[in-house]
Chain A
Amino acid sequence: MSEPVLRVKDLRTQFHTRAGILKAVDGVSFEVGRGRILGLVGESGSGKSVTGYSILGLIEAPGEVAGGQVLLNGQDLTKLKGEAIRRVRGAQVAMVFQDPMMTLNPVLKIGTQMIAAVRAHDRVSRKVAWTRARDALAKVGIPSPEERLDAYPHQLSGGMRQRVAIAIALLHNPAVIIADEPTTALDVSIQGQILAEVRRLADETGTAFVWVTHDLAVVSSLADDICVMYAGRVVETGAAADVIAAPRHPYTAGLLASVPAEHEPGTRLPQVPGSTPSLANLPPGCAFAPRCFRAGPACTTTPPVQDFGDGRTALCHYPIETDKCQPLSSTSTTYRSAS
């Protein structure tokens, strides 16, 4: 991997609640290179979205980034406040949200919102801003962009709106775009088109993407690298193809086994037993241990980061050995039990 544009080091984000301090992000580290796409994978509540918001300093009270670094080309974003972080948002690091029905203001024209986004960072006339907005819409494959600029969000389909959101994110050619489950709310064919578009944009513009998702199918077709999160921690990293072919962490293996497309029809779909633990009530040691088929006595202590080379790591006492492992078939038998 080339020199990373974005390097997140030991990021810690916590929320102060009545139930105590919730560590939503607990020492997360990863990096993304220019033009690369990192899939940040995890179940609901694993802290992947919060990681995205933390990078941009969008965590609001009662939450706070309690430690770690977010290095964008060497500059630590967690140290920036007020106007300084505002200049980064949208210009150097942009974000696309999950639900395109909600992210555009329903009472403002697309053009008004895009012009505001352009002028948030560049002191240009409305006319210039309008032209740039139009070009950005064209770039993400929106037909007749002039008319779209004059439309209100409700006049566009979900897929179109998400393209608009991506176009807004692209307006200032940011170094990094954080996409928080941007295709989850869309139907599959639209999702496919958008993923292809994103892949093309990453290759053409050199923008790096952090693609937050719970959908391994998306990641396998889109991402260069994968970072799997569980209960606020990164449990496995590696090149996307490698991780999917041979997961090291039992949790990743379980997630992969429960992808319907990979499964033989007519038999029960394997699933990871249990559910994501509450952050207020994490088990000691490995948070995944209670749900893990490989858990052993060591799992009550914090697991070590095992490094397998080539950027592959797993946070586990008993990682799956590649040579012994036929991941899909073996894990599907292992995970059959839940009902």
Chain B
Amino acid sequence: MIGFLIQRILQALLVIIAMSIIVFLGVYAIGNPIDVMIDPASDQALREALIHRYGLDRPLIEQYFIFMNNMLHGDLGESFIYRLPVLSLIWSRFPATLELALTAMMIATCLGIPLGLWAGYKPDSLSARAIMAFSVLGFSVPTFWVGLLLIMMFAVELGWLPSGGRGPVTNVLGMPLSITSLEGWSYIILPAFNLALFKLGLLIRLTRAGTIEVMSSDYVRFARAQGLSESKVVGLHVLKNISIPIVTVFGLELGSTLAFAVVTETVFNWPGMGKLIIDSITVLDRPVMVAYLILVVFLFVVINLVVDLIYGQLDPRIRVKAAS
């Protein structure tokens, strides 16, 4: 187990280093940020001074090592626009995205798995067909459009929910969260549902496919021959066996939701990281872009590590392989 963990952590480090090079080069290729930052009317001397101050006149390799050195010291630079250290800038937006992503994943999971189980358990029933039709809509209709429809419906026509923004927040463990109050929920529920829709469709289909496969297996037939009730057959045998693909997709989706909730955050004016990165790209705020992308890589690596560890818990055969 320890060996497995060390191996995975080394792999993760390699991925992060490779990604840091790619990100750094990619952003370098975009061009000189100084031209965007300063007044076009400024003179050449000021321009040169700034370039020198940001170290942009040094060789690329040197710039990269300075950047890496700073990163290892926890310093990812300062935003050109906000004049704030990027880490604290991103961190200030992180809780909003985190709670939005988690709420969305919760909605997707709590609805998707039971619906998928049912659709797989009775694949020919009318309700199962309805569920499947819904799931197709879930991941084929564009997110922004559904978001707009939701706002039209619940905020404009019915007036039940606010059309955007984030509600009042309270501090939980140093993170300002809005899901602690009912009013906060009224703000989060629409964007979260909007964000959940795609994942919901995905989870339904995944769960259904797994359920159909497991239901026709010998061990389910054997369990029935033992007189196990149907709820026990599904709850004990089916659920555990379909959980591996579900956990995989859950992990990937959680990562991508945290990193790229951009569309939903824009539509609902949700002050999260997605909006920050889009704004930063528009104004070429290089340190924020770099830091954000590296953070995203880090996030994915960590999530995948956790998913791998959960695999071992779910399937004993994987555990054995990892140990040997």
State the A residues within 8 Å of B (CB): 56, 58, 86-91, 94-95, 97, 99, 102-108, 112-113, 116-117, 120-121, 152, 154, 165, 168-169
- B-side residues, CB < 8 A to A, are 217-219, 221-229, 232, 236-237, 240-241, 314-317, 320
Q: Decide if A107 touches B320 in the complex (CB within 8 Å).
A: no
**Beta-carbon contact of A107 and B241 below 8 Å:** yes
Bound complex: CA of A108 vs CA of B101, how far in Å?
32
- Which residues of B are found within 8 Å of A87, using beta-carbon distances? 227
B226 closest partner in A (C-beta): A90
- Tell me which residues across on chain A come within 8 A of B316, comparing CB atoms: 106-107, 152, 154
Nearest B residue to A178, CB-CB: B225
Decide if B237 touches A117 in the complex (CB within 8 Å).
Answer: no
The answer on a CB contact under 8 Å between B227 and A105 is no
- Cβ-defined contact, B236 with A108, below 8 A: yes
> Do A120 and B241 touch across chains, with their CB atoms under 8 A apart?
no
Interfacial chain A residues near B221, Cβ < 8 Å: 58, 97, 103
Q: Out of A58, A89, A116, A154, name the residue touching B232 (CB < 8 Å).
A: A116
Within the assembled complex, what's the spacing in Å between the Cα atoms of A86 and B218? Answer: 17
B240, A165: Cβ atoms closer than 8 Å: no
Check A102 against B218 for contact (C-beta < 8 Å). Answer: yes
Contact yes or no, A154 B317, CB < 8 A = yes
Residues of A within 8 A of B223 (CB): 105, 113, 116-117
Shortest distance from the beta carbon of B311 to any chain A beta carbon, whole Å? 11
By beta carbon, the residue of chain A nearest B235 is A116
Q: Are A105 and B226 in contact (CB under 8 A)?
A: no
Within the assembled complex, what's the spacing in Å between the Cα atoms of A117 and B224? 10
Known contacts A116-B232, A116-B236; decide if A104 and B226 are in contact (CB<8 Å).
no
Please, which residues of chain B bring their CB within 8 A of the CB of A165? Answer: 222
Interface of B is mostly: helix
Give CA–CA (A116, B315) in the complex, Å.
Answer: 19
Number of residue pairs A-B, CB distance < 8 angstroms: 81
The contact of B317 among A89, A90, A152, by CB within 8 Å, is A152
CA distance A86 to B225 in the complex (A): 8
- Residue of B at shortest CB range from A180? B225
- Shortest distance from the beta carbon of A95 to any chain B beta carbon, whole Å: 4
In the complex, the answer to whether A102 meets B315 with C-beta atoms within 8 Å is no
Task: Report, nearest first, the 5 A-B pairs whose CB atoms are least far apart.
Answer: A90-B227, A102-B218, A90-B226, A89-B227, A95-B225
CA distance in complex: A318, B170 (Å):
92
- B241's contact among A58, A103, A105, by CB below 8 Å, is which? A105
Contact call A116/B228, Cβ cutoff below 8 A: yes
Q: How far is the CA of A104 from the CA of B236 in the complex (A)?
A: 13
- Looking across the interface, which residue of chain A has its beta carbon closest to that of B214? A105
Q: Are A94 and B222 in contact (CB under 8 A)?
A: no
B225 touches A90 (CB 8 A): yes
Q: List, in ascending order, chain A residues with CB within 8 A of B229's CB.
A: 86, 120
The chain A residue with its CB closest to the CB of B216 is A60
Measured between C-beta atoms, what is the minimum distance from B234 to chain A in Å?
12
In the assembled complex, which residues on chain B have CB atoms less than 8 Å from the CB atom of A97? 218, 221-222, 225
A168 to B228, CA, bound (A): 12
Q: In the complex, what distance in Å separates the CA atom of A90 from the CA atom of B223? A: 9
Cα A303 to Cα B135 in complex, Å, equals 56
- Cα(A95)–Cα(B317), bound, Å: 26
Q: Are B314 and A168 in touch, CB under 8 angstroms?
A: no
Instruction: List chain B residues, Cβ under 8 A from A91.
Output: 227
A169 proximity list for chain B (CB < 8 A): 226
Q: How far is the CB of B150 from chain A (nearest CB, A)?
A: 39
CB closest residue in chain A, given B219: A105
Show 19 residue pairs from A and B whose CB-CB distance is below 8 angstroms, ordered by the A residue: A58-B224, A58-B225, A87-B227, A90-B228, A97-B225, A103-B219, A104-B222, A106-B219, A106-B241, A106-B316, A107-B317, A108-B236, A113-B223, A117-B226, A117-B227, A117-B228, A120-B226, A152-B316, A154-B320
B232 contacts across to A, CB distance below 8 A: 116, 120
B314-A107 in contact (CB<8A): yes
Give the docked Cα–Cα distance between A56 and B227 (Å).
10
Q: Is the CB of B226 within 8 A of A102?
A: no
Inter-chain contacts of A90 with B (CB < 8 A): 225-228
Q: Distance (Å) between the CB of A153 and the closest chain B CB?
A: 9
Min CB gap B310→A, angstroms: 13
CA distance A107 to B222 in the complex (A): 15
